[in-house]
Amino acid sequence: MKNIYLFFVLFLFNPAISVSNSDSLFTNFFRNYSVHGNINNEIKNNNFFLNETGIIGEQINYQSGTLSRRLVEFNYLNRSLIDPFNSRIYEHLLPHSGFVKIETVNENNFNFTPIVNRTTKKYLPLTILSFSQLPYEGNEFKTLFNSSINDNSSFTFELNKTSFGSKSKENLFAGRFPNSFSDFWTSRAHYEYHDTSGFLLSIQNIFGESENGINNGIRFSTIEDSMYNDLDASVRSSSTYNISKVHHFDGFFEIPISTNFVYNLHFYKSIFNEQINTYDNILDSTFTPLDLRNKHESNNAGYLTSFVFKSNLNSISVFYKNEKHSVVENNFVHNQSADKSIFGFNGKLALTDLSITAEIEKEKYRTQEGFSGYTKLNWKLNDHNQFFVLFSSTLHFPNFQEIYWSDVLTFQPVKRDFDPIRIEQVSIGNNYIVNNSIINLSVHSQNIYNNIQPELSSVVNNNLFSQGFHNTTFQQEKSSKSNLFVRIYLSQAFSNFVFSTRIAHYFNENDSSSFPSNHLTFNLSYSNYFFKKSLFSTFNLSAEYYSNYFGKMLVYPSRTFVEQRLMKMGNQFIVNAFLRGYVNSVIFEIKGENLLDKKYMTIPLYPMMPRNLNFKISWLFDN
């Protein structure tokens, strides 16, 4: 359920949106949540391109009723939660300079976030009700309430409820589509206070509960495609059912000491409970499930404190982070805890056409310690070109799952001592911006030392695809691994149209890579008013292409990815379309996924959804 952690991190720290006083509430709301590709916003906020390094990573999402392995791009300067080449999610403190920013390609849904007036810094009084229809018995309900209590404080409450798929275990074991179901809800309460002196207090509380079921390897016998022909269609594999609960409390103080000095304090605590039930259908010829239960309870608590000196665009800060990771109970670890501490400096020097940002920190986790740091240079060559270069070296320490792994057959814990992983990276690129055009070109080189890889230690019948119940261990690679890739981003606006494309090429060492050599995305959007300006709508058509690659296999109960060389993914175009419009205070959305009805997978044995339509309608009320 690390993806659940990731979901909450992204949900919690999504930045607020600024609007002006002159426009109406609903105009501002729709403008800020328009589909990706608005060239004016891109040019206005081109720092996104200046700070982005284009590292490519992986994330596991529940997407429209099925499990998918998506390639995502994230900001390396904000310390990745995801190892870009090994699908490995790290339990790592977020740095003081920002939080993880992940952009999923062709993500047309919007998340509700507070809309803030630029002048008064107040939340706009707003209530939102939203209902969505999802394929296969799916639906989603969202509501958000924003209100200003007085001139200095405001309050936000948010409640989300989503469900799709069938909870019937008979359907799950029978292989009826979809191959997963999910039922989860989250609630968030947020209070913020600020005054004219610059003092800021922000407190928020999140509760969440998730119920998920996944059947590994169902339905592949009904797909007529060459990539499935080598599989034994009579074999069904394991099903996993889990319930998880998350409680997160978060607080932030910003206290101005003087005109140039600011003190920040951020504190938080997260409690996570989960029970995983794995039913293995293959161990009995009558498909009587073998029920294996894995309980997990953990909590993380910590704080981040920093002193920041600012003068114009120059700044220097000193920060200290401390966090305690605790595993209260699971099948192989009881009452284990580990302290993590980071002490470091961050500075920015801004000249007329040149800015340099640097950070160095010393981190200690359990009994291990080491240094991490980066240097980023931005150089404005002229009015249209901005050049950047990044040098970084980062340590990633082994997490609990890698230190303690359990033998599935004996359930006896095995402790391993791994060295920290070090990732060194050099990125260089240029951003060309003129009128309504953007061209971004970047080259990235990465070396990974002491990488930790999951491996299968026992497989029934020596067939990875014969069943989904495997024993997984971790091994450390003593040799270094090098990666090199190039990325190009193009965006052009003309009249009411915006066209954008991303092209990423990864230089694979051989043809058996678990990472695609080429990844292409295309987006074309059109926005305009209709019916005497009573309706404003945006239409977006997108296509995505991955070249052939051997997708990593997701195995249970460890829920880790292991390499396989039997089944290729990719080499298909996936086309999606999206329409959003609003009339007065009503917003409607229609999204068509996989319009060409391709039969494809991003994770072996987990077919993606066939052609489907999603509908959403939202009502906005001015408080």
pLDDT band, very low/low/confident/very high, at 422 (cuts 50, 70, 90): confident
The two three-digit tokens of residue 197, written as one number: 């002196």
Q: Mean pLDDT, to the nearest integer, of 119-147?
A: 70
* 415 has a pLDDT exceeding 50: yes
Cα–Cα distance measured from residue 132 to residue 141, given in angstroms and rounded to the nearest whole number: 6
> 3-class SS at 116?
strand
> Which of 32-46, 374-388, 590-604 has the highest average model confidence (pLDDT)?
374-388
In this structure, are residues 66 and 365 in contact, taking their beta carbons and an 8 Å threshold? Answer: no
What pLDDT is stored for residue 136 in this prediction?
60
Taking 60 as the threshold, does the pLDDT of residue 345 lie above it? yes
Q: Does the pLDDT value for residue 25 go beyond 90? A: no
Least confident of 320-329, 470-479, 614-623: 470-479
Lowest mean pLDDT among 169-178, 505-514, 603-612: 169-178
Cross-strand bridge partners of residue 424: 393, 447
Average pLDDT of the segment spanning 323-349 = 76
| Count of CB atoms situated within 10 Å of the CB of 21 | 9
Tokens of 549: 């690659």
What SS3 state is found at 3?
A: helix
Which residue do the tokens 């057959």 mark?
Answer: 409
Q: Supply angle C-alpha 313, 40, 587, rounded to 5.
A: 120
Supply the Cα-derived Rg of the chain in whole angstroms.
25
CB 212 within 8 A of CB 180: yes
Tens digit of pLDDT for each residue in 462-494?
A: 445 544 455 667 777 777 777 788 888 888 887
Q: Report the range of poorest mean pLDDT among 218-227, 273-282, 589-598.
A: 218-227
Give the model's confidence band at 179: pLDDT under 50 very low, under 70 low, under 90 confident, else very high.
Answer: low
Q: What is the pLDDT of residue 401?
A: 63
18 pLDDT band (50/70/90 cuts)? very low
pLDDT above 80: residue 257:
yes
Separation between Cα atoms, residue 210 and residue 185, nearest integer Å: 7
Is the pLDDT assigned to residue 93 strictly greater than 80?
no
**Average pLDDT value for residue range 313-325:** 87
Buried b (16+ CB within 10 A) or exposed e, 400-410: bbbbbbbebee
298 Cβ partners below 8 Å, 6+ apart?
A: 271, 272, 325, 326, 327, 328, 330, 400
Amino acid at 505: H
pLDDT digits (tens, 9 = 90+) for 434-450: 877 888 898 888 888 88
Calpha distance 74→79 (Å, rounded): 9
In 227-333, beta strands by DSSP E: 239-256, 261-280, 290-311, 314-329
CA distance 490 to 53: 16
Report d(CA 136, CA 180) in Å as an integer: 10
Residue with tokens 């906020």: 45
Residues in the chain: 623
Among 55, 103, 101, smallest CA distance to 394 is for 55
The DSSP 8-state label assigned to residue 288 in this structure reads: P
Topology of the domain covering 2-622: Maltoporin; Chain A (2.40.170)
Model confidence over 32-87: pLDDT tens digits? 333 222 222 222 222 222 222 222 233 333 232 333 333 322 222 222 222 222 22
Lowest mean per-residue pLDDT among 91-100, 234-243, 245-254: 91-100
What pLDDT, on a 0 to 100 scale, did the predictor assign at position 57? 30
Token code pair at residue 24: 């109406």
Q: Is the pLDDT of residue 210 over 80?
A: no
Contact 130, 617 (CB under 8 A): yes
Report the pLDDT value the prediction gives residue 318, as an integer from 0 to 100: 92
Give the mean pLDDT of the chain.
66
Under 8 Å between Cβ of 370 and 344:
no
What single letter denotes the amino acid at residue 98?
A: G
Q: Find, among 540, 488, 386, 442, the residue nearest to 37 by Cα.
A: 540
